[in-house]
Structure 1
Amino acid sequence: MRFDFVKCHGSGNDFPLIDARALDLDDSVWAGVARALADRRGPVGGDGLLLLTDGDKLHDFGMRMFNSDGSEAETCLNGLRCVARAGFEALAVDRAEVRLKTSSAHAERDADLATGVVTIRETAGPAELDVTHWPLRGAGHQIVQQSIGNLPSARLFTAVAMPNPHLVSFVDAIDEAELVAVGTVCEAAPDWLPNRANVSFVELRGMDLFVRTFERGVGLTDSCGSAMAASVFAACLTGRVEFGVELSVFNRGGLVRAQAESDGMVRLSGNATYDWSGSADVDVDRGIAGDVTVDRHFNNEIAAWAAVVDGIA
């Protein structure tokens, strides 16, 4: 099978994005496409696969996100901005209600973060604190600044679903080896956490945050939008940041502007950058991509985002 796609990223969280509105394929096929196109060892690579899907009576269009291992995530807020951009361009609109796997989100064009950086503001939530819905078993209904006995760490965690599950710990300095160790336990889908969870270590830098995430179905990643949203809400919930105040959230891929409200809604404003567009053959059964054709490089967008990242360093 051959697919057209755009290689894009939100805050360094990169994906092939397919306009799937006219494609009727089984989930097992999309899982194979994700494993092929998002394979870092292959010719495209990415943190997952994004799909722009049809809307319905309540939504202008939809989004699906498959991780690089073929599993489907409830959402991906960095990816949502990219899908929203594609949907805006397809429908000639600048705001939309977007259907996600288990929830909805609002997206709209925002003032550019920097010259030449296409910027989308997204509103997602409400944040969910009841971990029995994940499920996370044996820790009660809520985890706020608590240790979790099944993890190989004595750190305190706060559990937030956005709507995908996140364990957030605030640290003085990020220990990546420890983060990977904790993330690996969650990734193994133990009996007490059968649907796995994302794990983030977060540094408070003045009034801003720096987030490092071990992402479910991906591993250690330069950026995870829902992790940034969960981290902002957790920071407000634990009194580190005030609700209703906009701050910058940094990661290895760049940054977003974020604001959490006491009702659980979180707004993120960040880039939706196109790197290149093209097509590839996909062997769905083997999860292999090949014969990639590049039709266009978005050099101006690449340079504009590089200037933002260089300004952070």
Structure 2
Amino acid sequence: MKTKYTKMHSNGNEFLITEDIKQTANTKKLADKKNGIGFDQLLCIKNKKPYEVLVFNSDGSEADNCINGLRCIAFLYSLNNEAVYIKDKKFVVRSTESGAEVSGAFPVVNKKNNYYVINFGNNHIAREYSDIEIINLESEYIKLRSSKEFEEIKNFNLSIYKNSKNNIAIRTYENGTGETLSCGSATISVAYALLKDTNKNELLFASKGGKTKVLIDNESITSKANAVILKEGFLHG
């Protein structure tokens, strides 16, 4: 039996999108960039009306959130002001000509020494550096993961950023995947953490994969970026 898939990216963050739930068991094999299709996360459309999405990292573990993935789904299915759920967390998506907007409830932010600890359906740890390019992000992630200071924070993503006049450079190491070219939930999380410091309700982020605009109003936080279809094909079995 063959089932259709679509490979997409948002700011270089790559996804395989399928409606075949059986393929979630094959995530690690399919994600292999040498022998498989190659991607950061697999997105499975579990239901429609309302849309429910399952997210699996490239190592096969299930993820709790994926904003760039929702952006790609909104673009692929031409969704306009549709509710989409990842587990029990609700988002509203709006497709545009070149991508999509994703809106959600505000993250929960705490501070631990020099780090922000943020929950946006998934856990994030973030810290500002004067030069984010010289940091060994994987080593920093491993260090924090084994630290007693953060032992209660499970399955977190680590972001490092530099804020320059509210144009924010960012890098993210994602749990279960590694460093990606962009992470939508990390961008939203850092934007909300910086709200009190910047007093700005509109921030522009630049990752290695591209730019994301984050808007904050009285009711929600919204991420805007591109979405691109890379290829389509069929999966067997």
In the superposition, the TM-score normalised over structure 1's length comes to 0.69
What secondary structure sits across from 2:71 in the alignment?
helix
Counterpart-to-counterpart distance in 2, 1:201 and 1:63:
28
Identity of aligned residues (%): 23
> Is 1:80 matched with 2:70?
yes
Deviating 4+ runs (over 3 angstroms): 175-178, 185-191
Q: Does 1:181 align with 2:174?
A: no
Q: Residue 96 of structure 1 aligns with which residue?
A: 82
Given the superposition, is the C-alpha separation of residues 3 and 184 from structure 1 closer, same or farther in structure 2, using an over 3 Å criterion?
farther
Q: 1:109 aligns with which of 92, 95, 110?
A: 95
| Equivalent position to 1:213, from 141, 157, 172 | 172
Q: 1:248 aligns with which of 194, 204, 218?
A: 204
Deviation at 1:64, TM superposition (A): 1.6
From 226, 231, 236, the counterpart of 1:271: 226
Counterpart code for 1:44:
I
CA contact (8 A) 1:186 1:193 kept: no
Where do 1:51-200 residues align within 5 Å? 51-56=44-49, 59=50, 61-88=51-78, 93-110=79-96, 112=97, 118-129=98-109, 143-144=110-111, 146-147=112-113, 156-175=114-133, 177-186=135-144, 192-193=151-152, 195-200=154-159
| RMSD of aligned alpha carbons | 2.3
Amino acid at match of 1:242: N
Measured after TM superposition, the shift of residue 102 of structure 1 is 2.9
Q: Is the contact between residue 55 and residue 65 of structure 2 (CA under 8 Å) also seen in structure 1?
A: yes
Residue 46 of structure 1: aligned partner: 39
Long gaps (5+) in structure 2: none
5 Å matches for 1:221-300? 221-237=180-196, 239=197, 241-244=198-201, 246-261=202-217, 265-281=220-236
8 A contact 2:123–2:153 mirrored in 1: no
For the residues of structure 1 that align with 2:72 and 2:120, how far apart are their CA atoms?
18
- Tell me the CA shift for residue 3 of structure 1: 3.6
1:73 partner SS: coil
1:194 deviates by 6.2
1:129-148 deviation digits (Å, cap 9, x = unpaired): 3xxxxxxxxxxxxx32x33x
Of stretches 182-191 and 250-259 in structure 1, the one that deviates more from structure 2 is 182-191
1:218 Cα deviation from its structure 2 partner = 0.7
Greater strand fraction, Structure 1 or Structure 2: 2
Cα distance in structure 2, aligned partners of 1:120 and 1:194: 30
**SS class of match (2:34):** coil
SS at match of 1:182: helix
Larger radius of gyration, structure 1 or 2?
A: 1
Number of residue-to-residue matches in the alignment: 236
Contact 2:55 2:63 (C-alpha < 8 Å) held by counterparts: yes
Give, in angstroms, the shift of residue 221 of structure 1. 1.4
Q: 1:24 to 1:247 in 2, by over 3 A?
A: closer
CA contact (8 A) 1:52 1:86 kept: no
